[in-house]
Amino acid sequence: MKLVHISDIHLNEAPILGLDPVANFKRCLAYVEAHDADAERIVITGDLTHHGGEESYRLLVDILAASPLQDKLAPRLLIGNHDHRETFASVFSSTHRDPNGFVQWTEETPAGVFVYMDTVDQGRHGGRYCEARMAWLAGVLDDARSSGARAFLFMHHNPVRVNVANADIIGIINERELQALLKRYNDVIAHMFFGHCHYSLSGSVAGISYSAPRSTNHPCWPDFSGMANRMGFGELAPNYNVCFLRDDSIVVHTIDFLDAEKVQWAIETDDAVAEIKV
């Protein structure tokens, strides 16, 4: 199964750090439309807007409505710390919510069950996965285990420390409790996808692999100085991830969509001479 994973689009009318988030998201979608429309799912893991305002969500509605990515390719939308849960739900009135009102749900896919999680602690940049949400997740994973299905988790906040101080102080605050739950189900959870940090990440926690793309607007530079008040940014390539989910492997590619015009193509002929196609 082919999956497109996008994160941290930060829609906003004004530029952010000198970059236009609306134009960049539109260019990202255009590249997906042109090159990855054979995917089975597209998921955007939060920070859909920069300030959580209704006008930004309505702009997102208009952008998605104008895109040919519809039905199974209509992007699944998660919320992040820059979003506002109730404002999002008021604009996207058909959004799925659990019995406690959190924006989380599950979906059956050819690869297994996709579990869309709500890690937002409203009003704070750090995330939280409370007892009610963990109980919901445990029930979902129990069902997956009973049916023999693999589960793929999607969330906004990083559920593990990434050794970058300005990200670790706003990750999931109760990460130890969440990791203890994840460890109990590492025979069921095949992979975790998140965003929030704005740079490409991969690794594992509690015996579960994970990956994250950069922001589509303002990628950050991982800083290992330990200074929590310092953030690296600049003319860095935004990206999204293309993931191939197979029974025996998971492969994740990063697509620097704004750099596509720099690519040249070489095709080998019968006499092994490469022809350059521009």
Question: What is the Rg, in whole angstroms, of the alpha carbon atoms belonging to the chain?
Answer: 19
Per-residue confidence band for 272, with pLDDT thresholds at 50, 70 and 90: low
The answer to whether the Cα torsion of 222, 211, 162, 18 is positive or negative is: positive
In this predicted structure, the answer to whether residue 19 has a pLDDT above a threshold of 70 is yes
Phi, psi of 134 (to 5 degrees): -65, -35
Q: The domain spanning residue 198 has which CATH number?
A: 3.60.21.10
Q: How do residues 50-96 score in pLDDT, each as one tens digit?
A: 999 999 999 999 999 999 999 999 999 999 999 999 999 999 999 99
The residue among 149, 54, 66, 155 whose CA lies nearest residue 108 is 149
Range of 35's domain? 2-277
Q: Is 24 in a helix, a strand, or coil?
A: helix
Q: Collapsing DSSP states into helix, strand and coil, what is residue 126?
A: coil
| CA atoms of 121 and 135, how far apart (whole Å) | 17
Instruction: Give the pLDDT confidence score for residue 277 in this predicted structure.
Output: 57
| Nearest Cα to Cα of residue 48 among 122, 156, 135 | 156
User: Do the Cβ atoms of 89 and 103 come closer than 8 Å?
Assistant: yes
Looking at residue 267, its pLDDT comes to: 85
Q: Residue 273's pLDDT is what?
A: 56
In the chain, the number of structural domains is 1
Contacts of 113 (CB under 8 A, 6+ apart): 106, 107, 140, 144, 149, 150, 151, 152
Q: What is the pLDDT of residues 203-240, one digit of tens each?
A: 999 999 999 999 999 999 999 999 999 999 999 999 99
> What six digits make up the tokens of 48?
């859909």
Q: Is the pLDDT at 242 greater than 60, yes or no?
A: yes
